[in-house]
Amino acid sequence: MTQKIVVGVLTSGGDAPGMNAAIRAVTRAALNHGMEVWGIYRGYQGLIEGDVKKLCSQDVSGIIQRGGTFLQSARSSEFKTTAGRKKAHETLVKNGINALVVIGGDGSFAGATNFASEYLDISVIGIPGTIDNDIYGTDYTIGYDTALNTVVEAVDKIRDTASSFNRIFFVEVMGREAGFIALNSGIASGAEVIMVPERKHQVEKVRRFLAERARKNKSSIIIVSEGLEEGSAMEIAEQIRPEYPQFDIKVSVLGYIQRGGSPTSKDRVIASLMGVAAIEALLEGQRSLMVGYKNEEIVNVPLNKTVKLHKTISDEMLGIAELIGTFAPPKEDPEE
């Protein structure tokens, strides 16, 4: 007799718009296939502490348009330990849960990979949910599109005031070690310079740009990813400001506004597709994998690969950003 699948679903790490859509899809797809579903609150920490509740279809009604995660999230240093993962496993066994769907980023997947290797009685499926879009094996992660649109909208507004006073704005965006938000929001908002952590000598690039800009009197937007080795947007601006006293240099750190807000339709659709795919993977007997989205199709990627391999930023996109920006001025300036 085939064992009944009982699914536990949690969100871990940083929250991302669209996580609720994924939870909804996991829950309803599982219920429609005759499975039992348990919501695990506060991520791995809630799993350790037994903060779980059986979910019905009504529990996930009216959440698809909400940002954040109704299951809440938390960081858990305890889950990084063998003893912590043992407690988590005891919670699953106590409630008859034999499958775990983890919605989160690289740190969440690292924990899921360790757990899956230690407890073979639990099938673990990952759904990529992070605004950073830095997970190997998938073109998109849940929350990225919403965060990108939030940044573009904010930069458009900043450019209005920058233009009014001919100011230069350093706008810091999230991304840690990944410059996907910085690169694509910079292109979309027409930023003059884009600084990403994957490249060296970023401050020198700004200096060359400002040296060219010194002959003109125009506002400019410089997008700065938070993960630069050379410092934060504030630190870079403080370093640059004395060298170019003729410029009115301002800094805007967008911060956690990028994590919030109602998810875009793209995030809702992709999250829903991934949620259903996670349940289908369990029905097929799959374990220790991530459901991703590549070339507009759902793909299955071994969970350990998402941790071991690194998603790289596109050199082609960086080249395009500089080509269509004003960083590399023409040899003959038509304004002169």
Domains and CATH numbers, the chain: 6-143+263-308 (3.40.50.450), 144-259 (3.40.50.460)
Bridge partners of 11, per DSSP, are 103
In whole angstroms, what is the distance from residue 254 CA to residue 237 CA?
A: 15
- Nearest in space to 250 (alpha carbons), one of 230, 234, 239, 226: 234
Contact (Cβ atoms closer than 8 angstroms) between residue 53 and residue 24:
no
Condensed to tens digits (0 to 9), the pLDDT of residues 229-288 reads 889 999 999 999 998 888 889 999 999 999 999 999 999 999 999 999 999 999 999 999
Number of residues that this document lists for the chain? 336
Active site residue 51: no
Active-site pick, 51, 106, 132, 145 = 132
What is the C-alpha radius of gyration for the chain, rounded to an integer number of angstroms?
22
Condensed to tens digits (0 to 9), the pLDDT of residues 230-242 reads 899 999 999 999 9
- The reply to whether the predicted model has a pTM over 0.85 is yes
Give the pLDDT band (50/70/90) at residue 214.
Answer: low
What is the DSSP-derived secondary structure letter of residue 37?
E
The mean-pLDDT minimum among 107-116, 303-312, 322-331 falls in 322-331
Contact (Cβ atoms closer than 8 angstroms) between residue 163 and residue 219:
yes
Bridge partners of 225, per DSSP, are 173
